[in-house]
Amino acid sequence: MPGPPESPIHDDLEQEAKRLLDEVVRRDLRMRLIGGMAIRLLAGDALHPAFHREIQDLDFIVARRHGREAESLLEDAGYVGDERFNALNGARRMLFVDPGHDRQIDIFVETFEMCHSLPLAERLDVVPCTLPAAEVLMTKLQIVDLNAKDRADLYALLLSHDVDEVDEGFVNGRRIAELSSRDWGLQRTFELNLERLRAGLDEQPLNDVERAELTRRIEALGELMEQAPKSRKWKLRARVGERKRWYEQPEEVDRAG
């Protein structure tokens, strides 16, 4: 009897991400890569060696109307859906596993909801393959309990992308300020994490020029947020400040299987 068919999934996760993205293009899906692998692809050759890390899993965002097609794509590509999780949460989030490599794919549907809610689907068509650098940055910058891995990802993205008010090749600071000006809590978390990044620069294996450049870009983001006109809702929430919790505590998701 013939043995089981070989898995089409690449051992190398970067090659696997590119294989899936090629299939996204072929099927014309509004689906983009986020997370650590998105940062690696966005940075390209400009990724600083100090912030190169092993990436375990892949994360995507998909438009709601393409959710079913994204599910079919991953199953055709060799992945197994977490039936229970997807049945309960599939309208907003889906999980798939690569059983041969003990890796996971996390699909956010339309909106990214962790410590804060980010309307990422609004910007699925801005750049190919990944979300724009500003959106990828915000998925990390919204983490209240920022760990070393996420801090390194933020440094990597900011060191490879200057801050401007356009998307191609830059972190679009205007977009970040636009979202934070609607939501005091989101801006507060962004401010706290920018301060953490600034305070931790001396611990990073960088030269003086690189530290100065990161400092400038961190400050540029802070200034854009501070200067952006604020909504009435933002001003009302600002009066309460930190007396009331301004973020959600995301639940830990068990790996499928």
pLDDT classification of 7: cutoffs 50, 70, 90: confident
What is the rounded average pLDDT for all residues in the chain? Answer: 94
- Asked if 167 and 132 touch (Cβ cutoff 8 Å), the reply is yes
What is the phi-psi region of residue 76: left when phi exceeds 0, alpha when psi lies from -120 to 50, beta otherwise? alpha
Q: Is residue 157 assigned to a domain? A: yes
Give the C-alpha separation, 251 to 179, whole Å: 24
- Sign, Cα dihedral of 69, 72, 78, 83: positive
Q: Is residue 254 assigned to a domain? A: no
Give the C-alpha separation, 85 to 252, whole Å: 12
Q: Is residue 126 assigned to a domain? A: yes
Structure tokens at 47: 């990724």
Task: Look up the domain containing 197 and give its range.
Answer: 13-243
Q: Is residue 61 assigned to a domain? A: yes
> CATH number for the domain including 151?
3.30.460.40
Interval 201-253: pLDDT, tens: 999 999 999 999 999 999 999 999 999 999 999 999 999 999 999 999 987 66
Q: Is residue 249 assigned to a domain? A: no
Give the C-alpha separation, 218 to 194, whole Å: 6
* pLDDT over 70 (residue 4): no
The pairing of beta strand 93-98 with beta strand 31-34: unpaired
Q: Is residue 253 assigned to a domain? A: no
pLDDT at 68: 96
Amino acid at 103: R
Q: What percent of the chain has pLDDT over 70?
A: 96
Interval 134-182: pLDDT, tens: 999 999 999 999 999 999 999 999 999 999 999 999 999 999 999 999 9
Q: Is residue 135 assigned to a domain? A: yes
Q: Domain count for the chain, please give it.
A: 1
Q: What is the pTM of this model?
A: 0.93
